[in-house]
Amino acid sequence: MEQHIVIGKIVAPHGVRGEFRIMPQTDHPERYAKMKKITLDNGREYTVVSLRQHKNVYLMKVEGIDSMNDAETLRGRTIVLRPEELPPLPEGQFYVRDIIGFAAVTPEGDTVGTLKDVLSPGSTDVFVIAPPQGEDILVAAIGDNIRNIDWEKKQITVVLPEWI
């Protein structure tokens, strides 16, 4: 299920009637309210019976999970979406997963490597570029460093830090 997108993790049972706590792992936790079914990372689907927000988690009840013991069996599982279930994004925005694997090139056209990951350590995302040899290169994803994303060529034009 590698192509699936994780949107939450079941962290613990809640109460004795089969509810469980979900820690959101999405920028859009409001999508939970629209879900009539959920799919877990093991491929099992469940019909949602109820959902409510509680502090920083969501409490969910699904059909077939009727006790604390039942809910305990789901602990650690992740809730996933298929790529086609993702909502469309506004013009100019994209999902990170869509650019992983793009070639990274300098403005002069020299190959730097391949985009391996995008980290979100704080206010600015960081592109992780795997060069053909050597250690990964980290580039802050700001306008001065990321000049262009060419969807047809599947490449990103990056300005490398001076120390590289």
- For the stretch 40-91, pLDDT in tens is 999 999 999 999 999 999 999 999 999 999 999 999 999 999 888 887 888 8
DSSP strand pairing (146-150 vs 78-81) = unpaired
Answer yes or no: do 40 and 105 share one domain.
no
Cα–Cα distance between 55 and 94 in angstroms, integer?
Answer: 29
Residue 164 lies in a domain: no
Residue 14 burial (CB count, 10 A): 19
> Is the residue at 91 inside a domain?
no
- Judge if 67 and 110 occupy the same domain: no
Asked if 58 and 106 sit in the same domain, the reply is: no
pLDDT over threshold 90, residue 94? no
Domain hosting residue 13, numbered range: 5-85
* Side chain identity at residue 13, one-letter code: P
Q: What is the dihedral of CA 98, 103, 109, 110, to 10 degrees?
A: 150
Residue 24 pLDDT greater than 60, yes or no: yes
Domain boundary among 85, 112, 136: 85
CA gap 16, 67 in Å, rounded: 5
Judgement on whether residues 100 and 81 belong to the same structural domain of the protein: no
CATH number assigned to the domain comprising residue 65: 2.40.30.60
Q: Are 100 and 115 in contact (CB under 8 A)?
A: yes
Q: Is 90 domain-assigned?
A: no
Per-residue model confidence (pLDDT) at position 71: 98
In a domain, 103, yes or no: yes
**Residue 43 maps to a domain:** yes
- Say what the pLDDT of residue 2 is: 52
Look up the pTM and report it. 0.67
Overall number of domains in the chain = 2
Contact 157, 150 (CB under 8 A): yes
